[in-house]
Amino acid sequence: MKQALQFYVNGAWVDPIGRETLDVINPATEEAYARIALGTHADVDRAVAAAKQAFPAFSRTSRKERVQLLESVIAVYKKRYEEMAEAISDEMGAPLAFSRDAQVAAGLGHLSQVLEVLKTYEFDEVINNTLVTREPVGVCGFITPWNWPMNQITCKVGPALATGCTMVLKPSEVAPMSGVLFTEIIHEAGVPAGIYNMVNGDGPTVGQALSTHPDIDMVSFTGSTRAGIAVAKAAADTVKRVSQELGGKSPNIILPDADINKAVTHGASSCFSNSGQSCNAPTRMLVPADRQEEVIAIAKKIAEQTIVGDPRSATTTIGPVVSKLQYDKIQGLIEAGIAEGARLVTGGPGRPEHLNRGYYIRPTVFADVRNDMTIAREEIFGPVLSILPYTSEDEAIAIANDTVYGLSSYVTAGAIEHARDVARRIRAGMVHINGAPGDLAAAFGGYKQSGNGREWGKFGLEDFLEVKSMFGYQAA
């Protein structure tokens, strides 16, 4: 069994102050394969103190110094790329090819993107005789999730390093081994002591300690809306900045003039990708009512062609979901869909028939879904697609916007102008038009209960900056 029983504080691996540990479960086998230490408030105090001490010097480093630092981190990340793919596959059950080509690649993409932004970003702006400058926000606490571990860690650590912030990271205790490996990368890259610190632990202890700590200037959290609310409440007493990327229930509007086969194939495949464990997954497919049967046939075919199995098999499309807790939650929601009268097209409760262990979910498609059903309201976070029929474009847009979430959305039309018009009417932070992929230089984040911050590109960089006005700076 792998052991990760130390934390990284002030440039060194240190023993925890407490003695509690946690087994890390491989979701494909349901067996423990690693063990981590669980941090305490005292461990957080020690890490925050190191970050606070390092901040004054690091905040005054030059652009050139921070560029070189990021370049060093990227070089080591590339060197340990395959190790990272293995770590993510083991801890969250991602197929190895997907772990390599999507999960690890996302981390490299964000580090590379923030490096390019840093090279040219204008931190100073003269307005009349005033200098408006952007300075690092301070000591940051990062609470990251298990579903895209490197994507979310690098979305926070990269811009923090670029702007001159210091930090304490708490990776997800469900999938912590990639975070431990990333910390080894930071150390090997020569990041000076105190700038980056890592404490493993659970949300109610380490996450709460970071959120309430008076010497933390900003908390950046990615996870469920429920947990995000708790973080915001905990942070309120110290009036720290809180940046959140939370849940989603993304609508996928397929308009009557779209190529139905292409749009449904892409939408269903995207919904099942990563075992459905993506906050921006297109889980609500809105289709013309008179084309629903055609849509059902295509979605059913995609679901039944999705190969669920061993993450280390080259033929596997999706692996298990990350934990028994997630498995049980998804099973309950599938049962709710059936009980509330949605038409079960394929999939359903239980594991795929050929699997007798592991947290595997059958790719599931529901049709005749109403937007007031539980499966249309709650974030399932599994490979479950809901097909909702509509009779007019206005109705489709109303259904799309009838949700507490507003993270992502998808619109497909035959004419680009038609898709653009509908996209402007959707209340969400992102819209994918005609199957377009995400753009790492653009902004990632949501409206409403999907959060209040932005990541990626220059927008992610600016989340870590305070704005200072120096009046009279240009005066003679």
Per-residue model confidence as pLDDT tens digits over 406-419: 999 999 999 999 99
Q: Is residue 58 part of a domain?
A: yes
161: Cβ–Cβ under 8 A, 6 or more apart, which residues? 66, 69, 70, 73, 191, 195, 196
Task: For residue 441, give Cα distances in angstroms to 72, 119, 329, 384, 459.
Answer: 21, 14, 35, 30, 8
Strands (DSSP E) along 305-381, which ranges?
A: 343-346, 364-367
Q: Is residue 476 part of a domain?
A: no
Q: Is residue 164 part of a domain?
A: yes
Give per-residue pLDDT as tens, 310-345: 999 999 999 999 999 999 999 999 999 999 999 999
Count up the domains in the chain and report the number: 2
> 475 pLDDT exceeds 80?
no
> 476 pLDDT exceeds 70?
no
Q: Is residue 424 part of a domain?
A: yes
- 182 and 83 in contact (C-beta within 8 Å)? no
Q: Is residue 34 part of a domain?
A: yes
* Phi and psi at residue 324, to the nearest 5°: -65, -35
Residue 72: CB atoms within 10 A of its CB come to 16
Residues acting as catalytic residues? 245, 279
- Do 256 and 382 fall within a single domain? yes
- Do 432 and 456 fall within a single domain? no
Residue 25 belongs to what domain range? 2-246+451-470
- Do 177 and 264 fall within a single domain? no
Give per-residue pLDDT as tens, 392-404: 999 999 999 999 9
Q: Is residue 23 part of a domain?
A: yes
- Do 191 and 281 fall within a single domain? no
The mean per-residue pLDDT over the stretch 81-103 comes to 98
Q: Is residue 11 part of a domain?
A: yes
- 246 and 280 in contact (C-beta within 8 Å)? no
- Do 411 and 463 fall within a single domain? no
pLDDT band at 226 (very low <50, low <70, confident <90, very high): very high
- Do 265 and 217 fall within a single domain? no
- Do 225 and 305 fall within a single domain? no
- Do 216 and 270 fall within a single domain? no
- Do 367 and 335 fall within a single domain? yes
- 118 and 70 in contact (C-beta within 8 Å)? yes
Instruction: Give the C-alpha separation, 31 to 53, whole Å.
Output: 41
Q: Is residue 446 part of a domain?
A: no
Give per-residue pLDDT as tens, 110-139: 999 999 999 999 999 999 999 999 999 999
CATH number at residue 33: 3.40.605.10
- Do 282 and 208 fall within a single domain? no
> 449 pLDDT exceeds 90?
yes
Percent of the chain with pLDDT over 90: 99
- Which neighbouring-strand residues pair with 166? 139
Mean pLDDT of the chain: 98
- Do 262 and 408 fall within a single domain? yes
Starting from the edge strand earliest in sequence, which strands make up the sheet with 7-9, in order?
12-14, 7-9, 196-198, 166-170, 139-143, 218-222, 241-245
* Phi and psi at residue 344, to the nearest 5°: -80, 115
110: Cβ–Cβ under 8 A, 6 or more apart, which residues? 151, 154, 155, 158, 440, 456, 460
The mean per-residue pLDDT over the stretch 63-75 comes to 98
CATH number at residue 267: 3.40.309.10
> 56 pLDDT exceeds 70?
yes
- Do 385 and 461 fall within a single domain? no
